[in-house]
Amino acid sequence: MTDRSAFRPRLLLTRPRAGSDRFARQFRARFGADWPVTIAPLIEIEPTGADLPLADTLIVTSEQALGPVEAAPDWAGKPVYCVGERTAGVLQAKGFQVLGFAPNAQTLCTLILNHDDCGSMLHARGNESAFPLVQTLTAAGRNVAEAVVYAQVPQPPSTEMQDLLDRAVPLLVPVFSPNSGRLLTAAAQEARARLRIAAISPAAAQTCAGLAHVEMRVAAKPSAEGLMDALVALMRDSSG
């Protein structure tokens, strides 16, 4: 099967609106501008307004923390560790000194511990966390505080999403985090749709394990391109 196959199940995106819009553009750039896409966020992001106390080095494990970080004038140009190549590029473009980045928080923790101690650190994060980064770094002797700068607020399934789930049709569903997987699983418990789930990590895949009518692939790389490759594999398997 090629990327331009005639087999074109609808893409269902449930991550926050901004990220879903970006993934939809990337997906259509690769597979075709008229590919059917439904955006139905099960999470939206709300800033908490929390203070970011000054430290020597910043840790950012989600792009959702970028807005609050950029709005904190005392942090301009500071050294930073982050998750994600795209986030690293954004931070560099904003004048931050990126000391290193990794595909996930656990790998980033190992990276930080393999570097020299860089003094006091602040982890700017959301209210949900898949890996105990601060606790792990603190247990290893690093001086780390945290600030919860945004909240992931669950949203009910939209009418359009519920209609899709109620029909016995194939749906392509990328799952970007364990939290997204848990919310999808809750929304799709009674689904008749045949879900083709591409999970960004084994942990994200595990949260969807209880769903019926599912085919699943874990992305070889925890990135948008990795998820799209996994979706291609799912379409190949389903159309073969």
User: Given this model, what pLDDT does residue 136 score?
Assistant: 97
pLDDT of residue 237: 80
Does residue 1 carry a pLDDT above 80? no
Domains 10-42+155-239 and 45-152 share a fold: yes
Fold of 10-42+155-239: Rossmann fold (3.40.50)
CA 60, CA 154: separation in Å to the nearest integer?
Answer: 22
Given a cut of 70, is residue 214 above it in pLDDT? yes
State the Cα–Cα distance between residues 78 and 109, nearest whole angstrom.
19
- Taking alpha carbons only, the member of 151, 137, 182, 163 closest to residue 42 is 182
pLDDT digits (tens, 9 = 90+) for 122-174: 999 999 888 999 999 999 999 999 999 999 999 999 999 999 999 999 999 99
Give the class (CATH, top level) of 45-152: alpha beta
The pLDDT score that the predictor gives to residue 130 is 80
The tens digit of pLDDT for each residue in 8-61 reads 899 999 999 999 999 999 999 999 999 999 999 999 999 999 999 999 999 999
- Is the pLDDT at 233 greater than 90, yes or no? yes
- For residue 4, pLDDT over 70 is answered with no
pLDDT, tens only, 80-122: 999 999 899 999 999 999 999 999 999 999 999 999 998 999 9
Give the chain's end-to-end CA distance (angstroms, integer).
9
The strand pair at 37-39 and 170-175 is best described as: unpaired
For residues 115-138, b (16+ Cβ closer than 10 Å) or e, as one string?
eeeeeebbbbbbebbbbebbebbe
pLDDT reading at 5 higher than 80: no
Residue 240 confidence (pLDDT): 45
Domain ranges of the chain: 10-42+155-239, 45-152
